[in-house]
């Protein structure tokens, strides 16, 4: 219960941060303006007067928007062609890329209704988050949380390296006692938010006398924008570098301005069994 309360406080603090960041519009930044008639207009903010916002859209050119007609404003990223940028690029379905999450950016992700994640960009290099099993935590005596952090380093415009860790915390009676584990990792990403490849490794550590895993875990992933609203991505995990213990994930991601849907499957294999699970995921960027 203590971890669930911390999770709720984390969500509350995040929304407070969002509210603070949206009070001031900065010239040169790109914003989406939601109009009261249900339409949207977006572009780089050039100037502001008492009655109008003046913007420049790469595809449509200069435009002005009457302030009294605006219902909501969100900062966004746009490509050079005037289309909205991939809103969810700092992580794949589960694993991280080395691309940093933007400072002040917060998003929530849900997988198969059960696994939920909240991520926040603390600085331009550091992001933190927490994931958890919703129904398992609520209806059993074993709340399951997975805090994480990632710190990214930029080598050049196409190369990034990140270090971080994923933690596992289980507080309950299912395993006879509290369970804690960690997976420190390093990952390299080549590319940008519209298309990239990543490779990394981690070394798992578990408490209760288990210690470090005999061998590291291998990881590779990639994503590519294949249409205006679609991205294909895949991930592979080699647990303790054993080809008999693997997890493969493949998904098509339907992206919108500040949200996305994932559709795909996960295949897992160990020395005694093989299985697959369908995946439906949703991500909302605040």
Phi-psi region of 113 (alpha: psi -120 to 50; beta: other; left: phi over 0): left
Please report the pLDDT score of residue 76 as a whole number. 78
Nearest by Cα to 219 from 244, 242, 239, 192:
239
Query: Whose structure tokens read 């609203």?
Result: 229
CATH of domain 16-75: 2.30.30.100
CB-hemisphere CA count at 13 Å for 278? Answer: 3
Tell me what pLDDT residue 10 has.
Answer: 52
143 within 8 A of 137, measured Cβ to Cβ: yes
- Ramachandran angles phi, psi of 137, nearest 5°: -70, -35
What residues in the chain have per-residue pLDDT under 50?
A: 1, 4-5, 8, 12, 14-22
If we measure between CA atoms, which residue out of 52, 74, 96, 279 comes closest to residue 200? 96
Q: What is the residue whose two structure tokens read 């992933």?
A: 221
pLDDT at 41: 86
Proportion of the chain above pLDDT 70, given as a percent: 87
Q: What is the rounded distance in angstroms from the CA atom of residue 178 to the CA atom of residue 143?
A: 10
- Model pTM? 0.76
Q: Which CATH number is 86-285's, of 2.40.37.10, 2.40.160.40, 3.40.50.10860, 3.40.980.10?
A: 2.40.160.40
Would 16-75 and 86-285 be classified into the same CATH topology?
no
Residue ranges per structural domain of the chain: 16-75, 86-285
Give the tens place of pLDDT for each residue, 79-138.
766 677 788 889 999 899 999 998 888 999 999 989 999 999 999 999 999 998 888 777
What pLDDT sits at residue 18?
44
Instruction: Find out whether 42 and 32 touch, Cβ atoms under 8 Å.
Output: yes
CB 162 within 8 A of CB 150: yes
């Amino acid at each position: 219960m203590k971890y669930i309360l911390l999770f709720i406080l984390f969500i509350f603090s995040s929304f407070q941060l969002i509210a603070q960041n949206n009070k001031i519009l900065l010239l040169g930044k790109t914003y989406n303006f939601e109009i009261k008639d249900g339409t949207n207009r977006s572009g780089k903010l050039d100037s502001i007067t008492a009655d109008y916002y003046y913007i420049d859209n790469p595809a449509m050119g200069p435009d002005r928007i009457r302030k009294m007609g605006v219902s909501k404003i969100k900062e966004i990223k746009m490509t050079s062609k005037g289309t909205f940028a991939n809103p969810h690029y700092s992580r794949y379905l589960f694993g991280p890329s080395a691309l940093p999450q933007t400072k002040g950016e917060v998003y929530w992700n849900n997988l198969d209704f059960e696994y939920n994640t909240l991520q926040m960009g603390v600085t331009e290099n550091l992001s933190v988050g927490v994931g958890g099993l919703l129904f398992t935590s609520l209806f059993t005596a074993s709340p399951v949380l997975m805090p994480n952090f990632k710190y990214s380093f930029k080598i050049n415009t196409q190369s990034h390296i990140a270090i971080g860790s994923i933690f596992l915390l289980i507080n309950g009676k299912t395993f006879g006692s509290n369970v804690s584990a960690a997976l420190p990792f390093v990952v390299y990403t080549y590319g940008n938010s519209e298309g990239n490849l990543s490779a990394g490794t981690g070394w798992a550590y578990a408490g209760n006398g288990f210690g470090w895993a005999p061998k590291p875990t291998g990881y590779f992933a990639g994503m590519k924008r294949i249409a205006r609203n679609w991205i294909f991505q895949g991930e592979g995990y080699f647990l303790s570098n054993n080809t008999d213990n693997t997890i493969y994930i493949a998904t098509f991601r339907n992206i919108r301005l500040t949200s996305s849907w994932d559709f795909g499957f996960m295949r897992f294999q160990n020395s005694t069994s093989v299985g697959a699970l369908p995946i439906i995921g949703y991500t909302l960027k605040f």
